Structure 1
């Protein structure tokens, strides 16, 4: 993680995402930009919450880990998204681990300043309410998607979600084979069935698989199969 003190860039992000009124004048001096490299952890499950982050560039993966060490991918997020909102409101430790899938830029504010200057600021509280209710709405849709569509559609959607980032032209069409267990967990199928569908996609020319990664060869074909349903 790198902290960047760049008030001009910060102002541009606030303007681009229509967030100028979200943070009051007392909070704004305590906002910073934070840069995370691909694969870097932004926060870890079970740790005390230190910062509230607003994702303004890049893509992140959110997952939980059981006591036995098994991981379950919950969702992928692109801007605009907030990390730490539920924990801040409820005063609890971090619920899930958040990892940068592509290079990520966040606006961050330490919780001590948030509590001091933002606990009764209605535009900020309204913003957090909208973000949290949106998360519940998306989660409901995702559960319905897993129940209503076959594995082929779900895998096509997953590949499109994790292999591309519209804000990063260098992040295109590749998925590490080490992530296939995550894929099976997220789309609700067995690892064996997932491999059968991957073989089918390879034969159809949609993807190419080698030892280390899966490469998307026909993005339009996957999009048609997914029918615009993308995991979030």
Structure 2
């Protein structure tokens, strides 16, 4: 992890995502940029929450774990996204684990500065309310999607969500088969069923199994099948 206090870069990120007015000038002096490599953890479930992160570059995976060690992927997130917002409001530990699945850059803000400088700052409070309600809306849609659509559609959506590169675009690249267990957990089906669907995708020319990995061959075909990339 690399940390920077480059004010110019911070202001550039805020302007790029049109949230300059959300954070007052004084608060910006307490912001830092953190860079995480693929596979690094931005935060871990159960850890003491002290920091809010603004995802400004890259892609992350959000998941929860049970006491028995089983994991359930909840979503994939790209900019602009807040991490630690619900914990800030609830004053709780981090609810989920957030892992970088590409090179990721976030703007980090210590809760103590948020409480001191933005507790009664209307633009920030309105922004926070908008972000949190959007998360509940997306979660509701995701639950409906899993109930209403067949596994083929949900798996196509998963494949589109997980494949990604650092230019913030979807990438025709290898997806290791170990992620198929993640896929089964996320879309609410068995690993065996996912394998059967992958075999059909191979026959249809959508993907190819090669050297223990899955290569996406026809992104347009997957997009048509997915209809709505619900897991973004």
Q: Same fold (TM over 0.5)?
A: yes
Q: Distance in 2 between matches of 1:91 and 1:216?
A: 42
**Offset of residue 77 of structure 1:** 0.7
Q: Distance in 2 between matches of 1:52 and 1:92?
A: 12
1:109-161 Cα distance to aligned partner (Å, 9 max, x none): 11121121111111111111100000000000001111111101110010001
Gaps of 5+ in 1: none
Change (3 A) 1:66 1:56: same
Q: Distance in 2 between matches of 1:203 and 1:17?
A: 41
1:104 counterpart = 2:114 = no
Residue 102 of structure 1: SS of its match in structure 2?
Answer: coil
Q: Distance in 2 between matches of 1:140 and 1:62?
A: 16
TM-score, normalised relative to structure 1:
0.95
**Offset of residue 171 of structure 1:** 4.9
**Aligned position for 2:36:** 36
Q: Distance in 1 between matches of 2:113 and 2:172?
A: 38
Gaps of 5+ in 2: none
Q: Distance in 1 between matches of 2:166 and 2:226?
A: 17
Change (3 A) 1:218 1:166: farther
Residue 107 of structure 2: SS of its match in structure 1?
Answer: strand
1:127 counterpart = 2:153 = no
Change (3 A) 1:42 1:172: farther
Change (3 A) 1:50 1:211: farther
| Contact in 2 for aligned 1:56/1:80 (Cα 8 Å) | yes
Q: Distance in 1 between matches of 2:179 and 2:98?
A: 15
Residue 26 of structure 1: SS of its match in structure 2?
Answer: helix
**Aligned position for 2:144:** 144
| Contact in 1 for aligned 2:145/2:230 (Cα 8 Å) | no
1:65 counterpart = 2:65 = yes
Residue 228 of structure 1: SS of its match in structure 2?
Answer: coil
Q: How many residues align?
A: 232
| Contact in 2 for aligned 1:57/1:167 (Cα 8 Å) | no
Q: Distance in 1 between matches of 2:83 and 2:96?
A: 10
What pairs up with 1:54-203 in 2 under 5 angstroms?
54-165=54-165, 167-168=167-168, 171-203=171-203
**Offset of residue 210 of structure 1:** 3.0
**Aligned position for 2:27:** 27
| Contact in 2 for aligned 1:177/1:211 (Cα 8 Å) | no
Change (3 A) 1:172 1:54: farther
Change (3 A) 1:169 1:145: closer
1:148-198 Cα distance to aligned partner (Å, 9 max, x none): 111011100100011135734695433221111110010111111000000
